[in-house]
Structure 1
Amino acid sequence: MKTRELLTVEQREYFYEVPEHMDEREILRYYTISDEELQIINKQRGAANRLGFAIQIAYLRFPGRPLSANEKVPDFIVHTIAKQLRILPSAIQNYARGRDATRREHLSKIRSTLGFRTFTLKEYRELARWLLPIAMKTDQGHLLVEALITEMRKRKIILPAIYAVEHVAWAVRERAHRKIFKQLTRNLTFSQCKQLDKLLSVGKGYKFSYLSWLRQPSGVVSVKNFHKIMDRIEFIQKLNLPLDNGREVHQNRLLQMAREGSRYSNQHLSRFHELKRHATLMAFLIHIYAFLTDQGIEMLEKLMGRMFNRGEKKHKEHFQKDGKAINEKVRLYAKVGKALIEAKELEQDPFESLQSIISWEQFVQSVAQAEELARPAEFDYLDLLDNHYGHFRKFAPRLLSTYVFKASKASHTLFEALEMLKEINQTGKRKIPETAPMDFLKSKWFKHVIKENGIDRHYYEFGIFSELCNHLRSGDMWVVGSRQYKDFEEYLLPQEKWKELKEKHQVPLTIPTNIDQYLQERFELMDEQLSKVNHLIQNQLLPDVEIYADKIQIASLKKMIPDEVEDLTRLIYSVLPRIKLTDLLVEVDSWTHFSKHFVHLHTQTEPKDKSVLFAAILADGINLGLSKMADACPNISYTQLAWISDWYIRDENYSKALGAITDFQHKYPFSSHWGDGSTSSSDGQFFRAGGQSSPLAQVNAKHGRDPGLSFYTHISDQYAPFYVQVISSSEEAPHIIDGLLYHETDLEIEEHYTDAAGFVDHVFAMCHMLGFRFAPRIKTFSKNKIYTFEKPVNHPNLEFMIGGTIQTKKIRENWDDLLRLTSSVRNGTVTASLILKKLAAYPRQNSLSVTLREIGRIERTLYTLEWLQSPELRRRVQVGLNKGEAKHALARAVFFNRLGEIRDRSYEDQLHRASGLQLLILAIVLWNTVYISRAVDALRAKGVDIPEEYLQHISPLGWEHITLTGDYVWNLNQKASFNNLRPLREKKPIKK
């Protein structure tokens, strides 16, 4: 029988008990007495009755239940209400003393006069209807109970026993499950249901089931693995299932069910009742079909990229190999040319002059050799691609036969070319017809495609697939069933929803939505700043800035850290307790309870044995892997670790755990020495891809020749890494905004710093529209032109910096579309990184991309002008970036196994590695923060002079006192807690 309990003991106490402490804002919200209430209260006899009556009203407001008999009311509530009634708080001691009937009578009077209701069948039905849409989005029991209790408080429904509330949430959740199951299996025929059940059986010629086959990772980039992806896509297509059924199911629920389908064993799934089993398999197929479709496109791009890279490499090799011969020919023809020039000037026979240098026969031979050495006039590598046509044909036709493409008007001719090529492949024709569409091709292709004897099929196909990749990235073409490559319109808020937001004045942006107001404000601000900087340049008053020959040179920032800080840091760290990483993780969990966020995918319960959970997290964070972690952990097996990893370790759980630790760090008083949590920075840390190259790994010349990927981390000004992404090592800029929007912390970031890699107009624009101040470091001004609303006649000293004028007409024409796009990012309809990549891939003339760029130019110009004027801004950015860069050293020390290489093939496993690493770093930062605070107090108590202004320079990123290696033993019974911290080491300071 299913349990109808959704909450843990701790959660029940949380919802029904008044907390020991509340902030002033919450106290005012819940415990301020209204005039109407005051009139009723004052009618009660005696101070004790008035105070008790008022407290009963307060309790019904929050936590929403009646005051129990003989319940001890927290002092802050008694004092807050007594002050408003002008009654001594001690009067509460005489309330209902020995007569509980008084309390009950008062409760009845409050219900009848102030509109509070008891929980009856009528309220049950009302709340069940209200809760159902929420239960369709999430089945997390505590979230449903929390939503229900919040709504009951709003409706003045007195909370019944907590188990009754749980029962409502449980019943509604069951109803939502059945409704979702029916949505996913709608219109399934008997035959299709049989096909779904067949997925659990062993496939012909395989040792595992069809379902297990579909679950297999795609592997590294290769033609063989590309065809394996196509095999699975075509297998799902042949099932002919209504995969569109998933559109009616909320994406969170669909993803959860898909994950369950990917985790449950065949035996477990076969024991489900038929409706649930078929719905779970449908959710899995919907998810895996989109995932495989995206992976196929990504692998296509990688295969195409490799082919082009090989052509380019061959081109360079040819040039290097022939370099000596080319040089000899250049020197020879320089002599010949000089001789011919002299012959003309002296009116001599040019042929005799030529033969004085080289014989005619040798000259003819050298010309023939020069023709062989010569590369195309464009000096590109496209003429070498033909050597790879055989390799290209191993995967290109399969893509066309498997995928269904759609196109916008801008890509219509490319779509026609694809359809024509598909037909040619199917019919076995060899020639491309003369009427084949051409205008989608870039000019560089024409000389290779159009030959004297007609269209060169090889190069025509190369051109088609090259442009297909470009158009898929921009969104001008899309693939049916894809998640990453779909119609651009589908990424945005629906037009009806957008219209509603505008009509209700609920556009979730921080800028004026009126275009005239926006442009006027920015024009006035820019004009003011241009005039100011123009004046400062004229009078050579820009601080620490020199301008000569139209070049800007900014002096290096002066050192602001006192020399004594280094010795002070060593002294403080010398008294911190020595600790094993395992004990540190357990201790931080006892403070923050981050482990409670790692709940079971299906039951939403916490693991019974936390030591296994901690070991799995540690395996991710130190890059050890589950198998070797089992060897290093006594009494923990690989099977236990694998089960915990499969069912409890997920991206969203890591995000919530990072949020819990970050929030604790943010509220801990000592952290304020480093910042108030309103600023952050982000930076990528490169890790080599060990073994076979990961699909995400790329070569970045900045990091050497080996392929790798980046852990792109956002870190607060209090040293807390609160968000991490695994990205290609060459695409940091699009991911900047993700970390500002999608973290699970209480931080309210206002200003964000990056290095020069983030200096992108689109990011400037979107940050401004979303309410973030984007502050990247400016390293050079040679390419950093500013843009003005008017011609620079009024600012002659800035003319050398001005690259053009802002296209206000373009902004006006596309203003509504731009607001809709940015609102879509804010509302989570699409991620910022995905939409920025799409816009960056658009052709330059695309109106929406150009409009966002123009907004970015406005903000970048304003920022550049401030950078020139403000040493404080330059220092603030540098300090913020230094914190992130300092974290990299600790990351390398922690992530030391497997040579610090990423050897996981799947993105999910890579992200778990990155998240585990950041969680360990964050735990170390918090632990250090707490004990550094104690160390400072202890040292001061011993007479050590520690100036307050020095503490901002004491970093919590040290790790010399932490044992990172050895056997990993989990002592969950250790007595250390936040109220019982470890003793500091004794250290006698050296007196100077």
Structure 2
Amino acid sequence: MATRTDKGILLAEELLVWLRQNSVIIPAIDVVERTCAEAMAGGDKIVFQTLNALLTPAHRDALDSLLESSDNQPSRLTWLLQPPGKINGKNVLQHLDRLSSIESLALPEGIDRTIHQNRLLKLAREGRKMSSRDLTRFSAARRHAILVCVLEEARATLTDEVIELHERMLNSLFSKAKRTQAERLQQTGKLIQSKLRQYIDVGQALSEARDSGGDPWLAIENILPWPEFVASLEETRHLARKNNFDPLHIITEKYSTLRKYAPRMLSALQLVATPTAQPLADALVVIKDMYRKQSRKVPATAPLEFIPESWRRVVITPAGIDRQYYEFCALSELKGALRSGDIWVKGSRRYKNFDDYLIPEGDFDKLTPALPLPVSADYHEYIASRMTLLQSRLEEVNAMAALGELPDVEISDKGVKVSPLDNCVPAQVSPLAELVYCMLPRPKITEILDEVNSWTTFTRHFSHIKNDITRPDTRLLLTTILADGINLGLTKMAEACPGSTKSSLEDIQAWYIRDETYSAALAELVNAQGKRPLAAFWGDGTTSSSDGQNFRTGSSGRYAGQVNPKYGQESGRQFYTHISDQYSPFYTCIISRVRDSTHVLDGLLYHESDLEIREHYTDTAGFTDHVFALMHLLGFAFCPRIVSVHRGPY
């Protein structure tokens, strides 16, 4: 157990279970504590030995060299852990250099799977928080074990970030092509109008000449001299080029940007495809060989099945396969294949094989008898039962609609009409609410934090990342939490709070405040609120809803240059929050770059509170067919508010 986790409370619980199962009298608490402490120390030793056993002396020397620095330059480890930065080919190449540096260490294959994933992630987080100087003070076994965990996590992170940079680069290139096309069209708009009017006049003159039997050439020259007419034809031919109307014909103007990093990216990523995406994978192999051999032409045998119809007219030309368009098309299709799971990347965390997310088949077979599924595991049997139910429900709704018996809904040839909800709150409540609010005291937010902590002790969840020890003095901890909550920043918070310094707040933020500590503390607050009798007046805690809020920021951060489909490219952060019917926000995450529906299930599955949500509401942004299907399989009733149902939600 101690090799899987170093949390003392879990070890103590496991020890007590073992003592009871073996009919051993439970000893005093200090004996339990000492036993768990020895187990934790022994577990650490086993983990360090397991990781070091696979390392050669050359590996250890290479790991130690990562901590060296000279001439006031950061260590190589610090360089390896740098974020990707802005969207450009230089930053993609730098990230590929980092990935190549980790690969050059040639760490033993599968070393990350020799210890439990929890311990690997914990050691990796510890290592990221420490400076190179701090790591050099550890024993060789511990230092090398931590560095291995940091590098294995960094390898997966770098792989994901290289793919993400590529996606952002393509999005940027296509956006620029669309803007260029729009600008060119705008610049030539007046000229196009004049040419249209000119050819209307010419056409009218020719029509009149034919009707009257006149000379057509003279009719044209009466509009404009013949040399000007010939020159006008050439100008019109230039205006009618496809480049002016289709951004796809402009994209290759930025081919050099793609060519700068694409060869190294394809060489660095180990792509594996499903049968559906095999033609695309074969095309990427062809492109990789072209880069290696410095070929200028695409082989006639290159795969073409993956090319969508919109690309075919530019990729396949009378002269053969256009190389630039072929590369652009393949790399663009790779982006979609990675997102759909048709292609996965070895060593990636985000783009790994879909089967890796599932319970292994052998383990599933063992679990099924002990934990029977509430639905049939046979696909045909399950679908048949659902189709039968769907048919009966449709017939029931159809009969009620024909008789006008559907509550608050009218279905006719004109469509579906839903009656608006009535306001269930009496008008007299508003004056009373204002009166009550005026009677409430106006305490400082720091006093509220202290008082709530005295009721719930939520600060006990903010433990040190290394030893799980909490701070006895909560003043600086609450100050740091407040700085996060009001987005003031540690520098301004330190200036505003006597007795605190920026360095002390940074130390607390680095070692005590993490996503998991915030989640545990939030669960503590939600549970405490749910136990209050007043909460039951609003609901029983089985219904929830979720929505996103966008907050503008004054500067760009890690995801600068990315575009949110709804809010555009302006700097901002979108917080997606799940709220129960007791008005407790039991789950929150940042989703600045994706649609709300991507994270609807996260809040229902990963919150740590005692709430048992059975029914969930969202707006249109929280709805997709996939969410509907998964909600049913997971046992949740899903109630989205879908705007413009007749047009579809997408």
User: What is the TM-score with the length of structure 2 in the denominator?
Assistant: 0.93
Instruction: Give 1:449 deviation, angstroms.
Output: 2.3
Instruction: Give 1:224 deviation, angstroms.
Output: 2.8
Structure 2 partner of 1:685 = 549
Structure 1 partner of 2:259 = 393
Q: What is the identity, as a one-letter code, of the residue corresponding to 1:448? A: V
Question: Matched residues in 2 for 1:763 and 1:716: separation?
Answer: 19
Question: Matched residues in 2 for 1:510 and 1:685: separation?
Answer: 36
**Cα pair distance change 1:543/1:338, threshold 3 Å:** farther
What is the SS of the residue equivalent to 1:752?
strand
Contact 1:697–1:708 under 8 Å retained in 2: no
**Cα pair distance change 1:545/1:236, threshold 3 Å:** same
What is the SS of the residue equivalent to 2:53?
coil
Structure 2 partner of 1:327 = 193
Choose from 538, 559, 569 the match for 2:423: 559
Contact 1:226–1:395 under 8 Å retained in 2: yes
Contact 1:299–1:695 under 8 Å retained in 2: no
Question: Matched residues in 2 for 1:442 and 1:496: separation?
Answer: 39
Contact 1:230–1:402 under 8 Å retained in 2: yes
Residue-by-residue CA offset, 1:328-367 (whole Å, 9 max, x unaligned): 44445456566767788x5956937963984573554443
Choose from 746, 761, 765 the match for 2:629: 765
Structure 1 partner of 2:15 = 148
Structure 2 partner of 1:113 = none
Structure 1 partner of 2:6 = 139
Alignment pair present for 1:658 and 2:522:
yes
Choose from 312, 317, 320 the match for 2:183: 317
Question: Matched residues in 2 for 1:767 and 1:292: separation?
Answer: 33
Aligned-pair identity in percent equals 42
Question: Matched residues in 2 for 1:743 and 1:537: separation?
Answer: 40
**Cα pair distance change 1:153/1:570, threshold 3 Å:** farther
What is the SS of the residue equivalent to 1:553?
strand
Question: Matched residues in 2 for 1:217 and 1:609: separation?
Answer: 33
Q: How does 1:9-20 map to 2 (within 5 A)?
A: none
Alignment pair present for 1:667 and 2:550:
no
Structure 1 partner of 2:581 = 717
Instruction: Give 1:629 deviation, angstroms.
Output: 1.1
Q: What is the identity, as a one-letter code, of the residue corresponding to 2:170? A: M
Structure 2 partner of 1:210 = 76
Instruction: Give 1:411 deviation, angstroms.
Output: 2.8
Instruction: Give 1:510 deviation, angstroms.
Output: 4.1
Structure 1 partner of 2:220 = 355
Structure 1 partner of 2:129 = 263
Q: How does 1:258-657 map to 2 (within 5 A)?
A: 258-334=124-200, 351=216, 355=220, 358-359=223-224, 361=226, 362-376=228-242, 379-502=245-368, 504=369, 506-507=371-372, 510-515=374-379, 518-547=382-411, 549-657=413-521
Instruction: Give 1:306 deviation, angstroms.
Output: 0.2
Contact 1:220–1:693 under 8 Å retained in 2: no
Instruction: Give 1:273 deviation, angstroms.
Output: 2.1
Could you tell me which runs of 5 or more consecutive residues in structure 1 were left unpaired when the two chains were aligned. Answer: 1-133, 786-839, 841-992
Question: Matched residues in 1 for 2:325 and 2:133: separation?
Answer: 52
Q: Which runs of 4+ in 1 moved over 4 A?
A: 331-344, 346-350, 514-517, 546-549
Instruction: Give 1:685 deviation, angstroms.
Output: 0.9
Residue-by-residue CA offset, 1:697-740 (whole Å, 9 max, x unaligned): 64346436524331111111111111111113442112100110
User: What is the TM-score with the length of structure 1 in the denominator?
Assistant: 0.62
**Cα pair distance change 1:318/1:510, threshold 3 Å:** farther
**Cα pair distance change 1:747/1:696, threshold 3 Å:** farther
Instruction: Give 1:761 deviation, angstroms.
Output: 0.7
Q: Which of these two proteins has the greater Rg computed from alpha carbons?
A: 1
Residue-by-residue CA offset, 1:425-462 (whole Å, 9 max, x unaligned): 33433333333332222222222223344332221221
Q: What is the identity, as a one-letter code, of the residue corresponding to 1:575? A: M
Contact 2:181–2:243 under 8 Å retained in 1: no
Question: Matched residues in 2 for 1:167 and 1:249: separation?
Answer: 24
**Cα pair distance change 1:517/1:342, threshold 3 Å:** farther
Q: What is the identity, as a one-letter code, of the residue corresponding to 1:602? A: K
**Cα pair distance change 1:755/1:357, threshold 3 Å:** farther
Instruction: Give 1:257 deviation, angstroms.
Output: 0.3
Question: Matched residues in 2 for 1:314 and 1:434: separation?
Answer: 32
Contact 1:708–1:729 under 8 Å retained in 2: no
Choose from 46, 52, 67 the match for 1:179: 46
Q: How does 1:225-244 map to 2 (within 5 A)?
A: 225-242=91-108, 244=110
Structure 1 partner of 2:30 = 163
Question: Matched residues in 2 for 1:475 and 1:608: separation?
Answer: 48
Instruction: Give 1:377 deviation, angstroms.
Output: 9.7
Structure 2 partner of 1:751 = 615
Instruction: Give 1:636 deviation, angstroms.
Output: 0.8
Question: Matched residues in 1 for 2:240 and 2:223: separation?
Answer: 21
Question: Matched residues in 1 for 2:437 and 2:586: separation?
Answer: 24
Question: Matched residues in 2 for 1:245 and 1:776: separation?
Answer: 45
Instruction: Give 1:693 deviation, angstroms.
Output: 5.3
Q: How does 1:887-906 map to 2 (within 5 A)?
A: none
**Cα pair distance change 1:343/1:519, threshold 3 Å:** farther
Q: What is the identity, as a one-letter code, of the residue corresponding to 2:259? A: R
**Cα pair distance change 1:335/1:554, threshold 3 Å:** farther
- Kindly indicate whether structure 1 or structure 2 has the higher relative contact order, using CA contacts under 8 Å at least 6 residues apart: 1
Q: How does 1:122-133 map to 2 (within 5 A)?
A: none
What is the SS of the residue equivalent to 2:178?
helix
Question: Matched residues in 1 for 2:415 and 2:229: separation?
Answer: 50
Residue-by-residue CA offset, 1:380-407 (whole Å, 9 max, x unaligned): 3111012111222222223134333333
Q: How does 1:19-38 map to 2 (within 5 A)?
A: none
Contact 2:597–2:622 under 8 Å retained in 1: yes
What is the SS of the residue equivalent to 2:471?
coil
Stretch deviating more after TM superposition (647-656 or 566-575): 566-575
Q: What is the identity, as a one-letter code, of the residue corresponding to 1:316? A: A
Instruction: Give 1:277 deviation, angstroms.
Output: 1.4
Instruction: Give 1:582 deviation, angstroms.
Output: 0.6
Alignment pair present for 1:194 and 2:56:
no
Structure 2 partner of 1:221 = 87
CA RMSD of aligned residues (A): 2.7
Instruction: Give 1:591 deviation, angstroms.
Output: 0.8
Stretch deviating more after TM superposition (753-762 or 149-158): 149-158
Question: Matched residues in 2 for 1:202 and 1:699: separation?
Answer: 38
Q: How does 1:115-126 map to 2 (within 5 A)?
A: none
**Cα pair distance change 1:235/1:519, threshold 3 Å:** closer
Could you tell me which runs of 5 or more consecutive residues in structure 2 were left unpaired when the two chains were aligned. Answer: none
Residue-by-residue CA offset, 1:839-874 (whole Å, 9 max, x unaligned): x9xxxxxxxxxxxxxxxxxxxxxxxxxxxxxxxxxx
**Cα pair distance change 1:728/1:682, threshold 3 Å:** same
Contact 1:405–1:478 under 8 Å retained in 2: yes
**Cα pair distance change 1:342/1:264, threshold 3 Å:** same
Instruction: Give 1:490 deviation, angstroms.
Output: 2.0
Contact 1:340–1:353 under 8 Å retained in 2: no
Question: Matched residues in 2 for 1:301 and 1:512: separation?
Answer: 39
What is the SS of the residue equivalent to 1:558?
coil
Residue-by-residue CA offset, 1:100-144 (whole Å, 9 max, x unaligned): xxxxxxxxxxxxxxxxxxxxxxxxxxxxxxxxxx32221101111
Structure 2 partner of 1:923 = none
Q: What is the identity, as a one-letter code, of the residue corresponding to 1:196? A: L
